[in-house]
Each structure stands twice: as structure tokens, then as C-alpha cells.
């Protein structure tokens, strides 16, 4: 049942426990307990919205791929890199991984190309000691959309 509740919340987290209880055919207190358990266990970390980025004034979404030195993924260097990433509120995701010869990805939103370019240059300068390569793929927000960004789609993935 917690997994079914999570799927329903992904579709629309604004629904009340009473509404969710009707959909899942259980009591409202059962939903409330399950929701609190999901929050306590860290399965649900945030309740948020997915805005229209273009209407918010963003023109660019950037996927920046970084090849970091191997020691960056451990110890004090990892901690410093994490602290550095937290300084940028326009960065909505930063993670280590593997692919395309790179070891990390950053997803960020920018008001215009000048802002994006300035931040990319700052990244290259500030992280020059721990990176071997930085490449980007930029998306012009409002052009070429095939499927809008939303976590609601995950609500339709079978539990």
C-alpha cells in the first residue's frame, strides 16, 4: 500500500488523505500513517511543484557533463565538491555517474546564454584542479519539446 500511495502522490501531491483513501479504497487514518511512514523513512523528501520554466524567465536548461579526477568521488574532495554545488540555486541536480566518458552530470536552468556561459566559465576555473573535461548540452526552453518535464509520469509506472 505505501508504494501505491507514493504513485498516487506522484500524480498529484495536493490531494488530501481523504481523497487518496477513496482512490486506494482504504481508511483516511491508514493513508495518514502510510504518508508519515514514507516521510519518516525518507522515501518522500519534498512536496513541490513543477513550474513552467519559460514563464519563470528561464531560456536555457543545461546538461553539463564533467569528467572528474577519480579521487573526487571520495573523502574531503567529495565533501568540498558537494558544498560547491550547493552554492548554485539554479542547479537542480548534480550527481556522480558514468557514461560518455564522463563521471558527473549537472542539470541547471539559466535566464539567458550570457548567464549560462558565465557560470560555465566559473565552473571551469573553480574546479580546474579536480576536473579533466567539461562538456554541455543546452536546451532552448520553449523550443523542441516532445514531453514536458514532470515527475507525475512516474505515477503511471507499475508498483
pLDDT score for 159: 57
Q: Which CATH class is domain 60-140?
A: alpha beta
- Please compute the mean of the pLDDT values over residues 47-66 and round it to a whole number: 93
**How many residues does this entry show for the chain?**
159
User: For 82-127, what is each residue's pLDDT tens digit?
Assistant: 888 888 999 999 998 889 999 999 999 999 999 999 999 999 999 8
Does the structure show a pLDDT above 90 at 139? yes
Q: What is the DSSP letter of 144?
A: S
pTM: 0.84
CATH topology of domain 2-49: Arc Repressor Mutant, subunit A (1.10.10)
- Sorted by where each begins, the domain ranges of the chain are 2-49, 60-140
- Run of H or E including 40: helix 28-40
Q: How far apart are CA 96 and CA 93, in angstroms?
A: 10
Amino acid at each position: 500500500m505505501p508504494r501505491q500511495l507514493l504513485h498516487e502522490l506522484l500524480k498529484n501531491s495536493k490531494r488530501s488523505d481523504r481523497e487518496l483513501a477513496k482512490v486506494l479504497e482504504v481508511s483516511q487514518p491508514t493513508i495518514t500513517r502510510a504518508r508519515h511512514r514514507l516521510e519518516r523513512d525518507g522515501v518522500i523528501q519534498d512536496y513541490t511543484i513543477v513550474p513552467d520554466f519559460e514563464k519563470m524567465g528561464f531560456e536555457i536548461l543545461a546538461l553539463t557533463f564533467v569528467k572528474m579526477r577519480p579521487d573526487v568521488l571520495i573523502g574531503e574532495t567529495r565533501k568540498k565538491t558537494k558544498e560547491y554545488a550547493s552554492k548554485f540555486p539554479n542547479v537542480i541536480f548534480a550527481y556522480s555517474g558514468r557514461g560518455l566518458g564522463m563521471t558527473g552530470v549537472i542539470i541547471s536552468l539559466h535566464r539567458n546564454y550570457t548567464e549560462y556561459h558565465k557560470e560555465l566559465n566559473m565552473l571551469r576555473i573553480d574546479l580546474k584542479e579536480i576536473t579533466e573535461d567539461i562538456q554541455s548540452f543546452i536546451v532552448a526552453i520553449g523550443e523542441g519539446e516532445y514531453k514536458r518535464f514532470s515527475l507525475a509520469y512516474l505515477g503511471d509506472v507499475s508498483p
